[in-house]
Structure 1
Amino acid sequence: MQIVLILLIALASLHASAQQADDQPEQCLAPPSRFDPALLMAKGEIKVNARRATIIQDESADFSGDVSIVSDSAQISAQRAQVAQAGKQLVAEGQVSYRDAQIQVSSESVRLDSEAQSLNMEQTEYRLTGFTGHGAAQRIVLSREQGLSLQDVSFTTCPINSTDWQIQASEISIEPGEIWGKARNTRFYIADVPVFYLPYFAFPVSPVRQTGFLFPQVSSSSATGIDYEQPFYWNIAPNYDATISPRVMTNRGIQLKTEFRYLTESHRGTINLEYLPDDRDSADRSNRYFYRFEHHGQLSDNWVLSADINGLSDDNYIVDLGSDFYNRADTHLYQTVAMSYYSNNLDVVMRVRDFEVIGEHADTYRTLPELQLDYVTSFANGLDFRVDSELAYFDNQIDGNPSALRIHFAPSLSLPYQRQWGEFLAEASLLSTYYHQRDIEGTPLADEVARNLGRIKLYGGLNFEREADWFGEASTMTLEPKLQYLFTSYEDQTDIGLYDTTRLLNDYTGLFRGQEFTGLDRISDNNQVTLGVTSRILDAASREQFVFSVGQIFYLSDNKVLAANKADDRSALAAELDWRLHSKWFMHADIQVSTRTDKVERSSLSLEYRRDDKRLVQLNHRYVRDLSGEQIDQLGISASWPIAKNWQWVGRWYKDLSQQRTIESYTGIQYESCCWALRFVAQRHLSNRYDATGLQRTDEFDSGIALQFIFKGMGSSSSKRAMLEDGMFGYRQPYVLN
């Protein structure tokens, strides 16, 4: 007879949908019981082993001395066992052990009545099969009529000899056919101190998702005050559910956050709504909200419908109240609906795209609608033919700004050739674009513009290898030179507006991109040669230990497109470096140096020491000489280190060297035992609030603290990495070595 999972009984007292934290070391938590179903008998068969046996035919059988009883569902071992009434009743005593696919129980005695389908166990200790949990019960009774009853029961995931926390209840009962159980007089203990009491509650006893409360979130900041959020999970149907989360903020009031999810055979999606009425911390006590709708649907084998629609009440919503989907650095929220067709040769995307703009960005255009069609095919002689085309209508929400209809058609013919020793590509393209522009009074724009450009691209790369010695280790060194010639004809484009076009930043990879702008409104004329080389050091296992790349563009003629005009005959020298300095040291660096002034235009550096998952230190520096008229010069350090047994510290500090001020400081301390953890986090960072004109302030800071209690093995993770990745900048590994 199977025993219902006692795990669900214990966990549901605090978590309606608990699950094991899979990142905890098994040797620390109480190890789960193991069970091999192959040791059971075939259905309807029972095998009994014992040192001594007395059998009265058709009446009873007495067994003693290392008794083992194996059925088709469970194993029982004891010192003594008696089978009566022709096998309908079983009584086992003396160091009794009961094991099945769900639980292992040690007991003083077991009484089993197969006719009444009842099981009675006294003075029990149990361990769960496949889960890190164990406990004890004074008595376990399981019957067909009354279901399961546990009296004076306890549960914990801590090691058997180190019970830091446990749950106790005077009685837990589960009636037959019910998916909810009942618990009476439930107490939660930390060490031997009771900290929580419930006289009565109901809980789910099915692995199916059930309605109930989830773990709360508690924090504090200068923006919200004391912040308490209590999620409530609602299992509406097998393919519909919702999470309703009231959030109480002492500075602002009560916010309601909701998430609704749906799933059908071909569609899935999520609807998020957040609403804060009468914000007490705003000057006008305004109502504030955020919404998000995400959908993905498979209409057929080739057709896909998708939507990503976001909106909020004001520019400072994310800054003041936070977001699970965006951060304070974001300036645009997508509002996109698209229908797509995909096949081996043809891709078609039809979309309507708008933006919820955060701050003042008058140049942001929406496409109502946009149609993209891409076709590719190959010929028998190795030639590839491709057509990229687009039809888009651009509109601006600000009255008086120009709008435009754009039609683009770009056929290209290419000859690719790839081998292990290198690759070659020859490509010729025609870029034909038509604009019909409106509301252009007082601007240099034209009503209609037809722009036709030709482009030729020749690209080649070689791969050389040789055996080498790398700090005393046998290695392989590669040399991978690259050469590209690019020619694009010129047409005056000053009579075309900028609708989806901005300048791109060049790095080493961008040298070979061949385009200096996003979008199509500006296509720079080119007559240039790009040279680049990459060298790698590979160890005996073909792992990269060192990768260095450097390259530069040489302009054979002056660029005539005004927005891409250059004063030099060559681009900045761009280089990238990834280096595994040691098994525990890693470095990544990239730099762009102007060959005219010999000054660094952009650079970044990350140096990391990683001793293990608990011990790491990372140093970062980022520099940009001119970004929208401002200089970026930031230095940061992140660290994670044990400070004592069971104590972990995480810290991060970033300074703006241009203005000589700290822009983020973050520290977290966590105590972690085998089965619970306590985490404290404090931080201070730039708030990045927007003023009434839509400009972002750079002199206001936000600070906050958070305290979190974690029960390991009860649906929560105690990873220190979570602390390391929190905050404004967060932690990122600095290397891209394979």
Structure 2
Amino acid sequence: MRFLVANVCRTKGLSVSLTPLRRRLIASVKPKSLPTSRPLPPRRLLAIAAAAALLSSQGAHASSQTKHPKATLNGTEVVCALGSFICPPRPDNFALCRPNGMLEFYDPFLSKDSALRASASTQVWAEHVESPDQITYHLSGHVKTVRADQELHADFADYNSDTTDYDARGGVHYQESAHLLSADHITGNTDNSTGLATGNVRYQILDSHGNGTAVRAEMLDADRNRYTMATYSTCDIGRHIWELRAKQIETDDTTGRGVARNATMSMYGVPFFYFPWMTFPLNNDRQSGFLYPYFEHTGNAGYQFRIPYYFNLAPNYDATLTPRYYSKRGAMLSGEVRYMFPRTSGIFQIEFLPHDNYNDQKLTSTSIDTQNQQRYLYHFVNSTSLWPGWSLSTNLNRASDQNYLRDFGNDLFTISTALLYSSVYLNGAGNWWSASVGGDVWQNVDPSQANSVEPYKRLPRATFNMDIPFARWYDVGLTSEAVKFHKFDEVEGSRIDLNPYIDADFQGPAWFIRPKLAYRYTGYSLDSGYQRYSYYTPLTSGTTPFTESNPSRALPIVSLDQGLIFERSTSLFDTHYTQTLEPRLYYLYVPYRNQNNLPLFDTAPMAFDDWMLFAPNQFSGADRQMNANNLTAAVTTRLLDDGGVERLSATFGQIRYFTPQRVQTPCTTTSGTTVSGCTAATNWSGSDYVAELSTQLNDQWSANTEYLWNPNTRLTDLGTFTLQRRLGFDGILNFSYRFRRGLLEQYEASAVYPISERWRLIGEWTYSMMDKRTVEALAGVQYEGCCVKVSLVARHYVTGYYGVVTALPPGQTAPGSDTAVMFQLEFKGMGTFSGQTESVLRRDILGYQ
């Protein structure tokens, strides 16, 4: 007997989504530092670090008793590793749904491989079979047919072997690899892959957890279906928290798209959104359509409403158009275009407000009046491959005025941005060389500062670097730069910096010796009128002007880096480790050259940190090269587990100065005015003591600390401490302390605390000890059920970054604050989308997922 009703109903079911999938790109950095100045008592952080290490070790000892984390239905959820800067969003998790929540006739033992249908035989069971002409077959009484992944049950079934027409009646149940369907009556044609189901139609999509009902279901062909008076939800069957009801739904598996007409979205039976026509995705592919709407309120902009629309134009390019409305400022239109071609890729973003209706009281006279003015911000990044080894990179950022980020930003990261950077470079590289030519410019977006704070424009700027190995151990190389500097009412000119070198790398399994000999030449060509300027331009009474139009500096740089590596087997808390001991010596010699007649174009002293123990210069840029006769001594120990993972690392080191540091940037003018951000000559015998400790003895605890203590001033120069603790599967607890003498002292605590499987609390708090105020605070609650996610978050943050509050320029006031309230509602299975709330939380809370 031929396969009876083998394709009685290949109706695919629904995979309806209000919002299409959009894989968004998020990289944010969240600097949280308002300048403060308060000495930290020495050894405080070392004591904290010791306690943290003890707690970590206790956590490691008890790790065998921790519960295994829960997983999603398909096992795709991965816990973000401790210490990750930004964690990826979690996929939809239906583990909270009712276990085995399938339609009652689901057979879990049926094959899931649809490819077996073509070669599989058909098995038929029935209490009665009649065939009056050997063409028409009548089956009755518990009819059951099975072929590969297809199974059909009915009370009665008729089949015509010539036309392949079929007719199944009475409690029809159909199952295949990805779908379940039940109806009172199904008719159709097997060869044409058509069918019609009527009467109490129910369906379930096994892959997407979607299910619903329909009055009528039509299979138009093997890939297209039409449903009349249909519902859809990813909630448990019979427990629909939310539901989509449509007069007609059409699905197309070839395009992965669905179209609903006269559709209404309801929650707990209450309609809240109507769509006369809408499209939605049937799978996780990118699809055009509306993204989730977003609501927010801030003091500077008022109530905000956004509803983005995503255009999936092609596999390699797309666009998003986002109309916005601010109750205090008016209507704004923003957009984003992303593209990726064989030789070029990039992204373009723009925000445009035709008329700003907000009567904003500006902080300083340097800010333009933006009332009823056009406001905009654009960002363009592009990388183009021109020919083998050469590419063009572009990064353009521009705002309409200095107040834009303060007025429209809703987080500390945005409003603390003081400069927008733009650059265009032609880059080339080969096996032993690299080169670039282009330029850099900056825009001041700090409303408390005049535009004179902008760095020099570097137009044009060219670099060339090479490193050629020869013999067995040796390299010869060159780093070089040629640049033209421009800045209004400042000394201008050109600079060339050449640094040829030869180095070697002698090493064995337990030792290394790396000598290096370099020669640095830096020459200038100052533009006419340089005599009118000094370090404090324009030239004022008592200051010394530049006296040479072509000053230069040349000197040798000699260094020797050497170290040993010892290791042994050890045990800690009944765990086997390999411990290393790595002593290291670094000698640096640079003769002194008087550089007081060289301009400061793009050079500033760098704050001392651990990496400067082995750095050849304490200045950024080429305008200053420190003199040195120094020896750095440092020792590092590590604990490596049997898998080679570093579980503990500790470093201690210091630089010993055999000659005073004489190269400096001026700290005072001849009239006695103090200048910030400078270095003075010193006769110290040693640098800060540097101590570092990081530990992660198990997957639940992580702690890191760094401590710098100055033996000359007997003050702490820097102290940082970060502690991270995982709470269950999706909870996290963070605590950090940051101190830099004369700049900042801040505490920060954040947590994602799971109250239950469905509820969790979210909080973050950053406090500045110097300013005696909260820099940023966040509190919220999240609910995640079987088919919905709800987030309500309130954020309080400062609305400017003006430096130390106690030292504001005359006429300026302390930065104010603002509060934003964000609400987000997500329906699972309606497309994966990371809204504004999710991106803010991932950036603000380390380890949030």
TM-score (norm 2): 0.78
1:422 counterpart = 2:497: no
- The equivalent of 1:142 in structure 2 is 219
- The equivalent of 2:201 in structure 1 is 124
- The equivalent of 2:84 in structure 1 is none
- 2:255 & 2:633 partners in 1: Cα distance? 73
> Which segment drifts farther, 655-664 or 421-430?
655-664
- The equivalent of 2:125 in structure 1 is 50
- Among 206, 219, 243, the residue aligned to 2:296: 219
- 2:204 & 2:397 partners in 1: Cα distance? 48
1:503 CA displacement:
1.3
- Among 726, 732, 741, the residue aligned to 1:616: 732
- 1:174 & 1:416 partners in 2: Cα distance? 65
- The equivalent of 2:466 in structure 1 is 375
Kept in 2, the 8 Å contact 1:635–1:654? The answer is: yes
For residues 95-244 of structure 1, the aligned pairs below 5 Å read 95-100=171-176, 103-114=179-190, 117-122=193-198, 123-143=200-220, 148-173=225-250, 182-198=259-275, 200-203=276-279, 210-236=287-313, 239-244=316-321
- 1:164 & 1:174 partners in 2: Cα distance? 23
CA RMSD between the two structures: 3.4
- 2:282 & 2:732 partners in 1: Cα distance? 42
- Among 575, 585, 592, the residue aligned to 2:691: 575
- The equivalent of 2:717 in structure 1 is 601
- The equivalent of 2:429 in structure 1 is 342
Q: Give the 3 Å change call, closer, same or farther, for CA 171–663 of structure 1 in structure 2.
A: same
What do the CA deviations read for 1:435-459 (whole angstroms, capped 9, x no partner)?
1112422324321123221111110
- Among 655, 658, 668, the residue aligned to 2:767: 655
- The equivalent of 1:489 in structure 2 is 591
1:440 counterpart = 2:530: yes
- 2:523 & 2:12 partners in 1: Cα distance? 69
- 2:19 & 2:644 partners in 1: Cα distance? 47
- The equivalent of 2:601 in structure 1 is 499
1:667 CA displacement:
0.6
Kept in 1, the 8 Å contact 2:784–2:790? The answer is: yes
1:723 CA displacement:
7.7
- The equivalent of 2:381 in structure 1 is 294
> Which segment drifts farther, 712-721 or 456-465?
712-721
- 1:105 & 1:696 partners in 2: Cα distance? 70
- Among 770, 792, 795, the residue aligned to 1:683: 795
Find the residue that maps to 1:448 and give its secondary structure: coil
Kept in 2, the 8 Å contact 1:410–1:429? The answer is: yes
For residues 279-318 of structure 1, the aligned pairs below 5 Å read 279-281=356-358, 282-283=360-361, 284=369, 285=371, 286-318=373-405
Kept in 1, the 8 Å contact 2:412–2:776? The answer is: no
Find the residue that maps to 1:441 and give its secondary structure: helix
Q: Give the 3 Å change call, closer, same or farther, for CA 720–424 of structure 1 in structure 2.
A: farther
- 1:363 & 1:189 partners in 2: Cα distance? 53
1:329 CA displacement:
2.2
1:603 CA displacement:
0.7
Q: Give the 3 Å change call, closer, same or farther, for CA 197–427 of structure 1 in structure 2.
A: same
- The equivalent of 2:27 in structure 1 is none
Q: Give the 3 Å change call, closer, same or farther, for CA 323–416 of structure 1 in structure 2.
A: farther
1:261 counterpart = 2:351: no
What do the CA deviations read for 1:539-564 (whole angstroms, capped 9, x no partner)?
34433332111111001111221235
Q: Give the 3 Å change call, closer, same or farther, for CA 712–324 of structure 1 in structure 2.
A: farther
- Among 548, 555, 561, the residue aligned to 2:663: 561
Q: Give the 3 Å change call, closer, same or farther, for CA 612–503 of structure 1 in structure 2.
A: farther
Q: Give the 3 Å change call, closer, same or farther, for CA 159–717 of structure 1 in structure 2.
A: farther
Give unpaired runs (5+ residues) of structure 2.
1-6, 24-75, 77-88, 362-368, 535-544, 666-678
- Among 609, 615, 618, the residue aligned to 1:516: 618
- 2:469 & 2:778 partners in 1: Cα distance? 55
Q: Percent identity?
A: 25
- 2:829 & 2:811 partners in 1: Cα distance? 47
Kept in 1, the 8 Å contact 2:517–2:558? The answer is: yes
Find the residue that maps to 1:494 and give its secondary structure: coil
Q: Give the 3 Å change call, closer, same or farther, for CA 409–488 of structure 1 in structure 2.
A: same
What do the CA deviations read for 1:450-490 (whole angstroms, capped 9, x no partner)?
32211111101211112223234332222111110011122
- 2:465 & 2:412 partners in 1: Cα distance? 31
Q: Give the 3 Å change call, closer, same or farther, for CA 163–205 of structure 1 in structure 2.
A: closer
1:516 CA displacement:
0.4
- The equivalent of 1:81 in structure 2 is 157
- The equivalent of 2:92 in structure 1 is 24
Find the residue that maps to 2:406 and give its secondary structure: helix
1:134 CA displacement:
1.8
1:586 counterpart = 2:676: no
1:110 CA displacement:
2.6
- The equivalent of 1:15 in structure 2 is 19
Q: Give the 3 Å change call, closer, same or farther, for CA 505–5 of structure 1 in structure 2.
A: farther
- 1:604 & 1:22 partners in 2: Cα distance? 30
Find the residue that maps to 2:530 and give its secondary structure: coil
1:351 CA displacement:
1.5
- 2:463 & 2:809 partners in 1: Cα distance? 36
- The equivalent of 2:168 in structure 1 is 92
What do the CA deviations read for 1:642-698 (whole angstroms, capped 9, x no partner)?
345622111122222223222222111122212112221112121116799999853
Give unpaired runs (5+ residues) of structure 1.
none
Find the residue that maps to 1:602 and give its secondary structure: strand
What do the CA deviations read for 1:576-597 (whole angstroms, capped 9, x no partner)?
1112366533321111100112
Find the residue that maps to 1:499 and give its secondary structure: coil
1:533 CA displacement:
0.9
Kept in 2, the 8 Å contact 1:79–1:96? The answer is: yes
- The equivalent of 2:749 in structure 1 is 637
Partner amino acid for 1:171?
Q
- Among 350, 355, 372, the residue aligned to 2:442: 355
1:353 CA displacement:
1.3
Q: Give the 3 Å change call, closer, same or farther, for CA 404–625 of structure 1 in structure 2.
A: same
What do the CA deviations read for 1:271-292 (whole angstroms, capped 9, x no partner)?
2221123322225413221111
Partner amino acid for 1:475?
Y
- 2:22 & 2:111 partners in 1: Cα distance? 25
Kept in 2, the 8 Å contact 1:180–1:202? The answer is: no
Kept in 2, the 8 Å contact 1:62–1:83? The answer is: yes
Which is richer in strand? 1
- 1:714 & 1:299 partners in 2: Cα distance? 41
- The equivalent of 1:328 in structure 2 is 415
- 1:473 & 1:261 partners in 2: Cα distance? 50
> Which segment drifts farther, 109-118 or 364-373?
109-118
1:375 CA displacement:
1.4
Kept in 2, the 8 Å contact 1:643–1:649? The answer is: yes
What do the CA deviations read for 1:198-222 (whole angstroms, capped 9, x no partner)?
4x31425787755432211101111
- 1:477 & 1:205 partners in 2: Cα distance? 54
Partner amino acid for 2:830?
M
- 1:259 & 1:715 partners in 2: Cα distance? 19
Kept in 2, the 8 Å contact 1:712–1:718? The answer is: no
